[in-house]
Amino acid sequence: MATLPAIAAIDPTLAAEQTAVEARSAAEEPRAYLGMSSIGQPCERRLWYSFRWAVREQFDAPTIWRFEDGFRCEDVMANRLRLVPGVHLRTVDPRTGEQFGFADLGGHFKGHADGLVTGLLQAPKALHVWEAKAVNEAKLGKLAKLKAAGEKAALKQWDAVYWAQGVLYMAYADAPRHYLTASSPGAREMVSVRTDSDLDAARRLREKAQRIIAAPEPLPKISADPAWYECKLCPAHALCHGNGRALVNCRTCVHATPELDGDGRWSCARSAGATIPDDVQRTGCEQHRLIPALVTLGKQVDASADENWIEYELSDGRRFRNGAPGADSYTSEELRHLTPGLVGDAITNGLRVDFDARLVEAA
């Protein structure tokens, strides 16, 4: 009898599907604003890195699939709510034909609510901001226990990020209540919780957002310990605690400033304060000079605004520049791939000078 071939441990088609899903996610453009949905995160430096596009969070396929499940569950929960007589749920703003959106601080701080609802049986006349969340069974069970102990305090105790989002949406929508419906994957189980408006908390969160948007350099980190549990899970861990390198785009450039007089406008000091177009922001230009606090390879020791260079020093005294001509001068993109061993290396510098070569990431 012939021996049957071994069954492959991994379906190659499904593996290719997973790779494609991850590649599509990696190619998506970063959010152009600081989100009200994330402002409740405790580390202001992490939020600053995200707003400045200094790092790019990469998601694996299982995480992306959880996001997709959340979108599907939102539709399921909305349809179920609409089945209840007297409940009026609006998920589209009739003025715009899109989600209910809120913007502040020159369009740099934005949020989008899942909906507005009236007619809830618990409070038929009150306007509620509605948010739908899909979570795992353990987290859903925790919310149920917190609600049983006291509903109005449950959301803040359950998830500080969701609570901050709700507090802000209530303030901007001028709504007295927030109604969150959370479901297990597939929306087979559901728990709801109502929360009262807190304008003082909303004001503090807005001030936090303003601090992050206005800061020209990274704000203080939540912990100096790289092993701190919140730091270990952060996408900016390598940049914040180690030798990670910042991405190169206009928002990581020392010449760029977020302005408060438009809809998410950024200006360039090298262009006399001219507005930077959105497409240009994502790539930067030849005049790009990294914000010194983002250069982890050395310490800034000198600079020339007129000649547009910034000089750094390694721990052993060797120096290099970001900008300006010369063998030990590098573009911002080259600094992403520069190592201490390459600073002052005669062979490398000879190639760069003689052949107008550039340091690039190894394939």
Q: pLDDT, tens digit, for every residue of 202-212?
A: 999 999 999 99
Instruction: Read off the pTM.
Output: 0.93
Q: Does the pLDDT value for residue 351 go beyond 90? A: no
Containing structural domain, residue 257: 245-354
pLDDT bucket at 356, cuts 50 / 70 / 90: confident
- CATH code of the domain containing 188: 3.90.320.10
For residue 231, tell me if it sits in a domain. Answer: no
267, 188: one domain: no
Length of the chain: 363
Summarised one tens digit per residue, pLDDT across range 177-189 is 999 999 999 999 9
For residue 7, tell me if it sits in a domain. Answer: no
Of 194, 214, 234, the last residue of a domain is 214
Measured distance CA(269)–CA(257) in Å, rounded: 8
Measured distance CA(223)–CA(347) in Å, rounded: 41
Measured distance CA(265)–CA(270) in Å, rounded: 16
- Please name every residue paired with 319 in a beta bridge, in sequence order, or none if there are none: 313
- The count of C-alpha atoms lying within 13 angstroms of the C-alpha of 307, restricted to the half-sphere facing its C-beta, is 13
Of 214, 229, 253, the last residue of a domain is 214
Tokens of 310: 């910034």
Question: Hey, how many other C-beta atoms are within 10 angstroms of the C-beta on 315?
Answer: 9
68, 180: one domain: yes
The answer to whether 266 and 281 have CB atoms below 8 angstroms apart is yes
49, 165: one domain: yes
What percent of the chain is modeled with pLDDT above 90?
89
The CA-to-CA distance between both ends of the chain, in Å, stands at 47
The answer to whether 312 and 319 have CB atoms below 8 angstroms apart is yes
The answer to whether 168 and 209 have CB atoms below 8 angstroms apart is no
Of 169, 193, 214, the last residue of a domain is 214
Domain count, the chain: 2
288, 185: one domain: no
For residue 223, tell me if it sits in a domain. Answer: no
Summarised one tens digit per residue, pLDDT across range 159-202 is 999 999 999 999 999 999 999 999 999 999 999 999 999 999 99
For residue 323, tell me if it sits in a domain. Answer: yes
Residue 326, pLDDT score: 86
Measured distance CA(208)–CA(40) in Å, rounded: 9
